[in-house]
Amino acid sequence: MNEAVAVLLVNLAVSAACFAVLWLISLRTKDPSFVDAWWAFGAALLAGSTYLQLSAPGPHALALLVLTLAWGLRLGGYLIWRWIKHGADRRYAKLAQRAKEKHGLSFAAFSLLWVFLPQMLLQLVMALPAQLGQLSAAAQIGVAAQAGIGLAAFGIAYEAIADTQLARFKSNPANAGKVMDGGLWRYSRHPNYFGELCAWWGLWLIALDAGAGLWSLPGPLLLTYLLTRVSGAPTTEPHLGRTRPDYDAYKQRTSAFIPLPPKR
């Protein structure tokens, strides 16, 4: 337990330093939406920071490091590319305006209190499997970890394919105003989120096998709640319903998360 506390405190300090720098950058750009990319990059950093603190990393630590790096670098790279190409996320501009009108918050206060500080704390919790699961001294990978490695690898690939399919669809001017209902999006309205959940529940299985299942469980539970109830589907679907005439019909026939055959 002492080792876990020490590792988490170091990771907290590393994360706080990074988020402080990013917050200062947001004050210059007047746009905090690039923080979405750090959600992924930062999780990879936490996994790397944990690994570097270990005196004798075991197979669980190596598996968690490699998989978290694969997930974080891929998704972070995609999100920063999207931010560079498409600019600021409109959701943050609306939140900033609301914070100013209702609470009198300056942009600096909004960016710190509503964006970067919450993201830092949520990221630390979400990434618990990739941190605590590395502390195992077990010399062998068990059945749960083997299943977790397979599930995480599947989720990482699934999310990457979904993101690529959507990016290609949006890059075609002929698809403006249309609903993406091909590829993986034919079977799920949010295949990218489904893949992300698979990845992190897979990482949790590795942590479970390492003996950190209970203490790291808040991570995937939090991510599941965020993607299904807060910042995932709830923020995207209302906008799509207003801007895509065919979205309601797509919503009626297509599963929300778990890939299923379309309803007839």
Q: What is the pLDDT of residues 22-78, one digit of tens each?
A: 999 999 999 999 999 999 999 999 999 999 999 999 999 999 999 999 999 999 999
68 close to 203: Cβ distance less than 8 angstroms: yes
- Tell me, yes or no, whether 246 lies in a domain: yes
Residue 152 buriedness (CB in 10 A; 0-12 / 13-18 / 19+): buried
- Tell me, yes or no, whether 264 lies in a domain: no
- Tell me, yes or no, whether 258 lies in a domain: no
141 close to 214: Cβ distance less than 8 angstroms: no
For residue 174, give its domain range.
Answer: 2-253
- Tell me, yes or no, whether 240 lies in a domain: yes
- Tell me, yes or no, whether 222 lies in a domain: yes
Tens of pLDDT, residues 168-217: 999 999 999 999 999 999 999 999 999 999 999 999 999 999 999 999 99
Domain count, the chain: 1
Helices 218-225, 117-126: axis angle to 10 degrees equals 130
Q: What is the pTM of this model?
A: 0.95
